[in-house]
Structure 1
Amino acid sequence: MRKTVAFVGAVILTATATACGGGTQASGSDKTLTLAESVAATPWDLAKASMGPESQYYQPVYDTLIRLDAKGGPTPNLATSWSYDKPQTTLTLKLRKGVTFTDGTVLDADAVKRSLLHTKSGTASAAGEIQDITGVDVVDPHTVAIKLSHPSAALLPALGQVSGMIVSPKALKDPKTPVGSGPYKLDTAATTAGQTYTYTRNAGYWNAKGFPYDKIVIKYLADPSARTNALLSGQLDGATLNLNRVKTVKGRGLNVVTYQPGDVEGLYIWDRGGKKVPALGKLKVRQALNYAFDRQAIITSAKTGLGTPTTQLFAKGEDGYQAALDDTYSYNPAKARKLLAEAGYPNGFSVTLPDLSAIFPQEQAALTQSLKDIGIKVDLDTLPGDQIFTAMLSGKYAMSYFKLGAPTAWDKVQLELTKKSTWNPSKYDDPKADDLIARIGKATGARREALFEELNTYVVDQAWNAPWSVITNAYATAKDIRVTPQPGAQYPPIHNYAPAN
């Protein structure tokens, strides 16, 4: 089972930004690493934190209990070792000794307990990752026992991400400045909230050799053109790229890596119950939507050929993935129109979509045209970029272009397929799916995988969404910097950057 390391969704909902200010490259005697982020920071309370690319803002200051390696597997970090009891409902961790927070407080079992329970108390995706925790016991100053409601294969990966970051007890609730035990601390004098965040070395960090840069600067740049121009002009050392700029950036001598984090993009149907658009409550209508898209053509035209066609929520390597399910819906607009007619919509229906053209012009164009081709009338609603995210979560739109990734298949389930899921804005409820999800939560081994496959098959047959592809990401760095992508992460974690030599 692949254990991925990031949730991505909100990245597609950012506002465009103006060009960035000057940066410095980490070369020669200058050991500053300057990176760009496509999403705004949400500092600094982890109970309000998300698992997406914004986690890069937290990584310099908040260290994690577990470190995920280049394959997504758990390795020691603040926790030096761990073990489960026989029922796999108690995870006991031994903590590294001699670690202190930057405010001088000792990192001990009580601090870990308080930090985990505080993060869990929130409602954002970092909290959702550890909702299976029922309690944390302090066994001794350097040992904690995490109690679970049921076995959870997602717990260890979660402890290697935002959910497993540990905060000083003195700075848990609504901190103005982050206080962690990580390799860096925030330089408030060189930080402009919402624009630029500057981090300098934590002189007391136990693993300084693992972080070769003396300073890290993260700039918020939502506009992909601004990011690319800043890379080409030497103002940035690392940033994500739109796929149509890969050839240009490579041609200028920069390093570019492409990788699949497991995110699935396409048409996400938020109103499966038909509360807002009654047509979407009919199975044949949702199936018609799946036949409307020429997935390979979209990948070729909108993604420069990079990506893998799919009709399922889970990516290869995740629990529940079945290659045969990708043959469920082929491109067949005639069949789509026939299904619409059988469902009582021979002339199609009307739907309002959020206009994401400013951020994803090719994807929005492909979505709109494909729907029009089967007779669906599309109205595009233009909102300021910083309002779209909230509007979608409020249930304003019945469906939209979207891409969703998560640390594990179980996390994808929790993010979208339950009544309480963040990305189930209409709170659609399905008793059969609920039963399967409940059984998955209590199962282990081969039984768990079989139940995942049953759930995946059901969701595809019921056409809960109309996926297009498992996306490919591109990340560029300066000539003298190398970076290693990590499974499931849209942005590489900061410990994966190093000088090229």
Structure 2
Amino acid sequence: MSEPDVDALPQRWQDLLPAASSRRRFLSLTGGGALAALLAACAPSAAGDAAAGATAGPGTARRGGTLRVGTPPPPTALDPVTAYDGSAIALYQLVADYLIWLDKDYELVPRLATAWTSDRTGRIWTFTLREGVVFSDGTRLDADTVKASFDRLLDPKGRSAALSAFDTVLKAGGVRADGATKVVFTLERPFSDFPYLVSAGNYNAVVLKKDYAGDFAEHGVGTGPFVLTSYDVSTGASFTRNPRYWDAPKPHLDGVEVKFYADDQADLLALQGGDVDTQFLSRAALVEPLGDGGGDLVVDEVRSTAVTVLTLRVDRAPFDRKEVRQAVAHALDRPALRQAAGSGLGDLGNDHLFAPLFRSAPTDLPQRTRDKEKVTALLKQAGIDSLRFTLTFDPPNKDYAVTLQSQLKEAGITVDLDQRTSKEFYGGDQTKDTPWLFTDANLVNWAGRPVPSQLVNPMVRSGGVWNGSKYANKALDAAADAYDAATDDAERRRQAGIIARILHEDVPLVIGFWNGNTRASRRSFRGIEAHPSQYVDLSAVSRA
């Protein structure tokens, strides 16, 4: 299984762990539970959190207060099973909880599950549930409830986005309850990173009541830190603290008020004007300047695995020739693209799906750079005198598209821009004509994933559920299977290197840079952080 990055822990914690050669076995046997206990023992006492009031010290949480948050209105229904936009996800994460949370370093943090282990085959995973947890209406959490939640996600008729993460790994019927406190998942194939698929890394995987009927906006019941008290699709939502929350004395806030704003500029003005205290979805280009003056606002920044991908259809001209795809990749000035479209944040991309933030990312692959002479030579090799193609995208990627168009023009490649509304871009029949999967070239935003398999499997495996390039390569498929099954770091890095080199050579995807994420907030609140997946954990937030 995948474990926390022990090498990133403070040295005083590393010294208490087994030697490097035995760390993986130590963590696989404990499912991270022992490490969590170890870290809890080394960390400051949580007793200080209970000391609320105006006399609280610098490191002590103060009880009370209402946090005001700005965000765009969700374009999808507020349904944890099917929602896929950042605003809806942030809203239901205040109410519903996961078996496992992910911190800002993508480390696994026990929530409703306290431990997880796998058998020797890597196909059977057993999760132990936290005892004494109840939903906000008093219903007790048990294994049958967790099973029902995942059965719901795995039902093809439910149209959950979670199905993409479980594709080829877990199917309907693969979950069973073992008594009241254990849930057993039987996988279709070995998958050592499976805990990430039932964590916040699979954003629909929150645990809901057995009788959940899709009416979350009216009857949002969960085991999370807050209770939904009102929701208006036009104006916003209100939440109060959940007195039954399992992680007492959290939450420290009395409540959260969410206000919807029509666009990023309106959201920004509300933050600057003091109408809100933070944002769910801070846009780096807008909020980065706010944190430089030492005023009332602070901006937190974090690396991410979120990425905008230029997808090229390899099954029809002109991108059926590898040389043409390589020419496009060599036409990019990646640092300039990152500056123009990403506010200079994040890591440069190298046309494979292993972000530098991933532990298994290869480090020996030369960084692709702009080379106009090579662009000309590659097009000539493909028998093309001049290249012209249409790039399809939705409004959030306009800056990226315009910059791409300009850079490729300088290299002799003409790009016609085809902007669609987000509804149109992601609409249509997902199996045959939706623009984001079936146009010749397009730009797609991918939210940050905690493990590379969540990108590799849906995007570039043969027949992958979100394979917009229509790319297929048996050697890559084999390496992806081996990567997913491997439990040894060296073997994972070896297989990652194989996958990365294949993608770097064949270029079904062009990746200019990996995003950095930001979150702006007022200094009057403590504990608001940026997250690589844009999530926000408000359970520990308090007045400063």
Alignment TM-score, normalising by the size of structure 2? 0.78
**What is the correspondence of 1:2-21 to structure 2 with a 5 Å cutoff?**
none
Q: Secondary structure at the match of 1:324?
A: coil
**What is the correspondence of 1:260-279 to structure 2 with a 5 Å cutoff?**
260-265=303-308, 267-274=309-316, 278-279=317-318
Residue 310 (1) aligns with residue 349 (2): yes
Equivalent position of 1:489 in the other structure: 533
Higher deviation after alignment, 84-93 or 364-373: 84-93
* 2: CA distance, partners of 1:101 / 1:493: 18
Q: Secondary structure at the match of 2:318?
A: helix
Residue 364 of structure 1, aligned match among 381, 388, 401? 401
Residue 245 (structure 1) shift: 4.0
Contact 2:239/2:256 (CA < 8 Å) preserved in 1? Answer: yes
Equivalent position of 1:156 in the other structure: 195
Residue 70 (structure 1) shift: 4.5
Equivalent position of 1:18 in the other structure: none
Equivalent position of 1:143 in the other structure: 182
Residue 100 (1) aligns with residue 134 (2): yes
Equivalent position of 2:224 in the other structure: 182
Residue 365 of structure 2, aligned match among 292, 301, 325? 325
Q: Percent identity?
A: 25
Residue 92 (structure 1) shift: 1.9
Q: Secondary structure at the match of 1:48?
A: coil
Residue 88 of structure 1, aligned match among 108, 122, 136? 122
Residue 173 (structure 1) shift: 4.7
Higher deviation after alignment, 444-453 or 27-36: 27-36
Equivalent position of 2:70 in the other structure: 36
Residue 338 of structure 1, aligned match among 350, 373, 377? 377
Residue 320 (structure 1) shift: 4.3
Equivalent position of 1:401 in the other structure: 443
The number of equivalent residue pairs is 469
Contact 2:229/2:238 (CA < 8 Å) preserved in 1? Answer: yes
Residue 200 (structure 1) shift: 1.8
**Root mean square deviation, CA, Å:** 2.9
Contact 1:34/1:216 (CA < 8 Å) preserved in 2? Answer: yes
Q: Which amino acid aligns with 1:437?
A: A
Equivalent position of 2:521 in the other structure: 477
Alpha carbons of structure 1 residues 410 and 172: separation in structure 2 relative to 1, 3 Å: farther
Equivalent position of 1:384 in the other structure: 421
Contact 1:154/1:411 (CA < 8 Å) preserved in 2? Answer: no
Alignment TM-score, normalising by the size of structure 1? 0.84
Residue 168 (1) aligns with residue 202 (2): no
Residue 168 (structure 1) shift: 0.5
* 1: CA distance, partners of 2:463 / 2:219: 31
* 1: CA distance, partners of 2:180 / 2:471: 45
Residue 388 of structure 2, aligned match among 349, 355, 360? 349
Residue 136 (structure 1) shift: 2.0
Q: Which amino acid aligns with 2:113?
A: A
Equivalent position of 2:112 in the other structure: 78
Contact 2:310/2:441 (CA < 8 Å) preserved in 1? Answer: yes
Equivalent position of 1:202 in the other structure: 242
Contact 2:228/2:237 (CA < 8 Å) preserved in 1? Answer: yes
Residue 63 of structure 1, aligned match among 97, 105, 108? 97
Q: Which amino acid aligns with 1:298?
A: L
Alpha carbons of structure 1 residues 402 and 492: separation in structure 2 relative to 1, 3 Å: same
Higher deviation after alignment, 43-52 or 152-161: 43-52
Q: Which amino acid aligns with 1:165?
A: V
* 1: CA distance, partners of 2:238 / 2:462: 39
Q: Which amino acid aligns with 2:319?
A: L
Equivalent position of 1:112 in the other structure: 146
**What is the correspondence of 1:408-419 to structure 2 with a 5 Å cutoff?**
408-419=451-462
Contact 2:73/2:234 (CA < 8 Å) preserved in 1? Answer: no
* 2: CA distance, partners of 1:147 / 1:29: 43
Contact 2:333/2:370 (CA < 8 Å) preserved in 1? Answer: yes
Q: Secondary structure at the match of 2:466?
A: coil
Equivalent position of 2:507 in the other structure: 463
Equivalent position of 1:230 in the other structure: 270
Q: Secondary structure at the match of 2:109?
A: strand
Higher deviation after alignment, 369-378 or 174-183: 174-183
Residue 165 (structure 1) shift: 1.5
CA deviation vs aligned residue, 1:205-227 (integer Å, no higher than 9, x gap) = 22242322222233444622222
* 2: CA distance, partners of 1:233 / 1:363: 29
Equivalent position of 2:164 in the other structure: 128
Equivalent position of 1:19 in the other structure: none
* 2: CA distance, partners of 1:420 / 1:319: 27
Alpha carbons of structure 1 residues 495 and 458: separation in structure 2 relative to 1, 3 Å: farther
Q: Secondary structure at the match of 1:387?
A: helix
Equivalent position of 1:300 in the other structure: 339
Residue 350 (structure 1) shift: 3.0
Equivalent position of 1:21 in the other structure: none
